[in-house]
């Protein structure tokens, strides 16, 4: 339920407005706020006179298999290689686009659809490349589809490893390495949209470190620039890549908004594309067919509209000759096709209809970058995490516009951030959450205030999502008032975690432009973003991390020499001389860290030293012996072994991350997920094994029940994991 309203409150010294998050009673109508009056939009609607519109045409079939075959034959007359992907799920198909060959979907088992057989006969390839293991596409389906042609299987133990293996094939085929796209592996939009650019695509999880296979693939490709696209991507994984390679990077991420994720990825294309491809956002099946497309970007739309503003803007900018629509009228309504066609510049003698509903206000910043300083923080989040989230929220605006943001000191920052209970309306949970000046305060000081009485958290952590509130408030700092678009970041109500909307992006670009060119199909991506400013001040910050095998982990953040490293030592009251040392690499800004550096059940005092610096001291625990570092896992017993660990968080629970070893070489094993609530099992899946009898799946199944979780299969039972 929407529980807070953002409203104009007062004018401050005649130079700026303040905005606030104020409470909204349950089931109440929107409150009309005091203050200056603004119209419903910043620009009038322009009438449309139809001229030479781009051609719109549909490619569809009675099922996803026929649709994918139709798209492949529309894009290719013949091919030396054809790729097969599973039509039952999307993970293995996410990295197929850069191979620049026809991609056909097949069922995991059973008979090959006639449309696929006919398409392969028409394309007449010499080789059939199968993405995924036998659990994704059985050997029988691959053999029948190939009809005597050479079959090559490319697979890994997870979607991340499979994508890395596909990049290996793409590298050997000469894929350009000017730009590497890295997308979220938890959703299909970003990776499939990036795949149409002809550049390599890798996947990262939404939490945790970068998989070793991904790091190895980057090492082989050696790209000149990395573009992150799609949904939520683990900040730890991105830091791993930054620390190891130091490659310039940009961000076009969009939280959980798959429509926006695809549109941001599509901005890589230059104007004058042959076609824009539309697929419904309601599922992955039609979008998967777009992996065969090579003449323009993929955009996602809601089946019967309305079409997102940023999608219309992208179509207008790219000036396509044609609109390729995947699926029938039940997938994408004719009214949506008409709206997209009307957005193309050729379709209007007086310009496309303007549908923005944002409102601009206050003073635009005349000098960039905008520096952000912190008066204090909040104990609700560990270490300096609250500062990182506020900066990340501000830089999200910068990633889609000409705005630039740096971190400054409290003494000279353009915008000061403070947690307090003294501001008007503050001091109670669920009331006013935050306040901010609207636009630049000329001759004065800009502030963003957060109510310390509220419970602050982040995505996956209980509490009010700080990133979302900070992004909203910084939008006001930039000079953006409220939007009438309900899903926009600048809409007048807070309703939990969300990302920037097309309307928000249109607003910030109206003020500050689009910034530099987005890397993409252009073979010269340019120098990349400006150098990252060095962190300041230098030092080590310690926070109590999550529960460890005994006691708690040391969660350490370091600011030091950019591009260098620092060797740190963990200490506590029982072992003040230190009980564990490790070297932490620092990125181009001098930042680095480790959330599981070491752990201790002793105490009460805990701190870290290194590089001539000493961290703050944190209290937990009591007396007793010092626990040794985590022991290595015991060697697997002979015979089939199932090893279960708790994977990434999802829907209030966690993924089952399973590793299989000592199985039949080149065979498979069918496994079942169990937990305390469903001890008989609630999910069964077949996992293909490699030539060493090993395999696995880091997203096998998930459970929010408990406390006991385990997997069985092939006469074996895994270890039990509690959550």
Residue 525 burial (C-beta neighbours within 10 Å; 0-12, 13-18, 19+):
buried
pLDDT tens digit sequence for 457-470: 875 566 778 888 89
Predicted confidence at residue 628, as pLDDT, reads 41
Predicted confidence at residue 531, as pLDDT, reads 45
Predicted confidence at residue 427, as pLDDT, reads 60
The whole-chain average pLDDT of the chain stands at 77
User: Tokens 């969009």 — which residue?
Assistant: 254
**Distance (Å, rounded) from C-alpha 542 to C-alpha 570?**
10
Angle (CA) 83 89 92, round 5°: 45
pLDDT of 240 strictly over 80 = yes
Confidence of residue 1 (pLDDT cuts 50, 70, 90): very low
pLDDT of 634 strictly over 80 = no
Three-state DSSP class for residue 516: coil
**Distance (Å, rounded) from C-alpha 652 to C-alpha 459?**
11
pLDDT of 518 strictly over 60 = no
To the nearest 10°, the Cα dihedral for 606, 610, 613, 614?
10
Predicted confidence at residue 493, as pLDDT, reads 59
Percent of the residues in the chain that have a pLDDT greater than 90, as a whole number: 12
- For the chain, first and last CA: distance in Å? 28
pLDDT of 570 strictly over 60 = yes
More confident residue, 12 or 70: 70
Confidence of residue 498 (pLDDT cuts 50, 70, 90): confident
Confidence of residue 350 (pLDDT cuts 50, 70, 90): very low
Predicted confidence at residue 529, as pLDDT, reads 35
Predicted confidence at residue 114, as pLDDT, reads 94
User: Tokens 């650019």 — which residue?
Assistant: 197
**Distance (Å, rounded) from C-alpha 512 to C-alpha 402?**
5
pLDDT tens digit sequence for 305-344: 888 888 888 898 888 888 999 888 888 999 999 999 988 8
pLDDT of 83 strictly over 70 = yes
Spatial neighbors of 430 by CB under 8 A, at least 6 apart, are 3, 4, 23, 454
User: Tokens 């609700």 — which residue?
Assistant: 380
pLDDT of 623 strictly over 60 = no
pLDDT of 359 strictly over 70 = yes
Domains and CATH numbers, the chain: 57-343 (no CATH), 368-512 (3.40.390.10), 539-619 (2.60.40), 641-722 (2.60.40)
Spatial neighbors of 25 by CB under 8 A, at least 6 apart, are none
SS3 content of the chain, % helix, strand, coil (to 5): 20, 30, 50
* Pairing outcome for strands 81-86 and 127-131: parallel
Alpha helix ranges (H) inside 274-384: 285-289, 309-318, 334-343
Percent of the residues in the chain that have a pLDDT greater than 70, as a whole number: 80
The structure tokens listed for 610 are 């290194």
More confident residue, 464 or 376: 376
pTM value? 0.47
Predicted confidence at residue 132, as pLDDT, reads 86
Q: Which residues in 213-250 are b (16+ Cβ under 10 Å) and which e?
A: bbbebbeebebbbbbbbbbbbbebbbbbbbbebebbbb
Q: Which candidate, 494, 568, 687, 515, places its Cα nearest to that of 23?
A: 494
The number of angstroms, rounded, from the C-alpha of 134 to the middle of its chain's C-alpha atoms is 29
**Distance (Å, rounded) from C-alpha 654 to C-alpha 673?**
12
pLDDT tens digit sequence for 661-677: 888 887 888 888 888 88
Three-state DSSP class for residue 242: helix
Q: Which candidate, 372, 339, 369, 334, places its Cα nearest to that of 353?
A: 339
Three-state DSSP class for residue 512: helix
Predicted confidence at residue 515, as pLDDT, reads 63
Three-state DSSP class for residue 237: helix
Mean pLDDT of the 100-115 span: 91
Strand-pair partners of 325: 58, 278
pLDDT of 541 strictly over 70 = yes
Cα dihedral 50, 56, 62, 67 sign: negative
Predicted confidence at residue 702, as pLDDT, reads 77
Mean pLDDT of the 181-196 span: 78
């Amino acid at each position: 339920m929407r529980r807070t309203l953002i409203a104009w409150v007062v004018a401050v010294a005649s130079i700026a407005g303040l905005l606030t998050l104020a409470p909204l009673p349950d089931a109440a109508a929107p409150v009309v706020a005091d203050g200056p009056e603004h119209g419903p939009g910043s620009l009038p609607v322009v009438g449309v006179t139809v001229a030479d519109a781009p051609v719109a045409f549909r490619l569809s079939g009675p099922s996803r298999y026929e649709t994918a075959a139709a798209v492949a034959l529309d894009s290719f007359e013949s091919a030396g290689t054809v790729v097969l992907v599973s039509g039952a799920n999307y993970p293995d198909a996410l990295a197929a686009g850069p191979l620049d060959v026809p991609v056909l979907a097949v069922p995991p088992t059973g008979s090959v659809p006639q449309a696929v057989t006919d398409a392969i006969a028409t394309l007449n390839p010499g080789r059939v490349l199968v993405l995924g293991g036998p659990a994704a596409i059985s050997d029988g389906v691959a053999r029948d589809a190939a009809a005597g042609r050479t079959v090559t299987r490319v697979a890994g133990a997870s979607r991340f490893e499979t994508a890395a293996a596909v990049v290996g094939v793409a590298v050997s085929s000469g894929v350009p390495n000017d730009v590497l796209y890295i997308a979220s592996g938890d959703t299909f939009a970003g990776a499939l949209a990036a795949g149409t650019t002809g550049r390599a695509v890798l996947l990262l999880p939404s939490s945790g470190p970068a998989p070793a296979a991904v790091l190895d693939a980057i090492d082989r490709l050696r790209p000149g620039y990395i573009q992150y696209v799609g949904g939520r991507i683990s900040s730890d994984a991105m830091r791993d890549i930054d620390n190891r390679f130091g490659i310039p990077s940009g961000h076009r991420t969009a939280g959980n908004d798959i429509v926006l994720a695809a549109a941001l990825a599509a901005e890589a294309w230059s104007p004058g594309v042959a076609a824009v491809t539309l697929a419904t956002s309601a599922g992955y099946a039609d979008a998967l067919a777009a992996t065969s497309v090579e003449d323009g970007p993929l955009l996602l739309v809601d089946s019967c509209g309305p079409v997102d503003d940023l999608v219309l803007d992208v179509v207008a900018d790219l000036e396509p000759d044609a609109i390729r629509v995947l699926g029938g009228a039940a997938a994408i309504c004719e009214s949506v096709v008409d709206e997209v066609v009307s957005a193309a510049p050729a379709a209007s003698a007086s310009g496309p209809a303007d549908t923005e509903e944002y409102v601009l206000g206050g003073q635009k910043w005349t000098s960039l970058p905008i520096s952000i300083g912190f008066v204090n923080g909040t104990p609700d989040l560990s270490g300096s995490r609250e500062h990182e989230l506020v900066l990340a929220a501000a830089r999200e605006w910068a990633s889609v516009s000409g705005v630039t943001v740096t971190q400054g000191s409290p003494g000279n920052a353009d915008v000061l951030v403070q947690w307090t209970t003294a501001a008007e309306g503050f001091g109670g949970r669920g009331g006013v959450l935050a306040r901010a000046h609207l636009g630049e305060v000329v001759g004065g000081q800009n502030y963003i205030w957060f109510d310390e009485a509220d419970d602050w958290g982040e995505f996956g952590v209980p509490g009010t999502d700080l990133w979302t509130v900070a992004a909203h408030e910084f939008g006001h700092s930039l000079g953006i008032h409220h939007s009438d678009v309900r899903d926009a970041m600048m809409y007048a109500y807070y309703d939990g975690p969300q990302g920037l909307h097309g309307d928000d992006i249109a607003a910030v670009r109206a003020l500050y432009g689009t910034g530099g060119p987005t890397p993409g199909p252009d073979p010269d991506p340019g120098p990349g973003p400006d150098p990252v400013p060095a962190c300041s001040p230098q030092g080590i910050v310690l926070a109590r991390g999550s529960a460890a095998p005994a006691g708690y982990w040391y969660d350490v953040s370091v600011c030091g020499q950019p591009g260098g490293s620092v060797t740190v030592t963990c200490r506590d009251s029982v072992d003040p001389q230190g009980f564990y040392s490790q070297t932490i690499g620092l990125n181009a800004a001098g930042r680095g860290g480790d959330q599981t550096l070491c752990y201790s059940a002793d105490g009460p005092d805990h701190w870290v030293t290194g590089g001539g610096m000493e961290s703050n001291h944190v209290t937990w625990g009591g007396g007793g012996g010092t626990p040794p570092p985590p022991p290595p896992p015991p060697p697997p017993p002979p015979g089939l072994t199932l090893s279960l660990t708790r994977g990434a968080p999802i829907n209030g629970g966690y993924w089952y991350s399973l590793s299989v070893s000592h199985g039949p070489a080149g065979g498979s094993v069918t496994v079942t997920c169990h937990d305390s609530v469903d001890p008989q099992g609630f999910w069964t899946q077949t996992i293909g094994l490699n030539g060493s009898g090993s395999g696995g799946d880091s997203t096998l199944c998930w459970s929010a029940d408990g406390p006991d979780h385990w997997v069985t299969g092939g006469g074996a039972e895994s270890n039990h994991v509690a959550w």
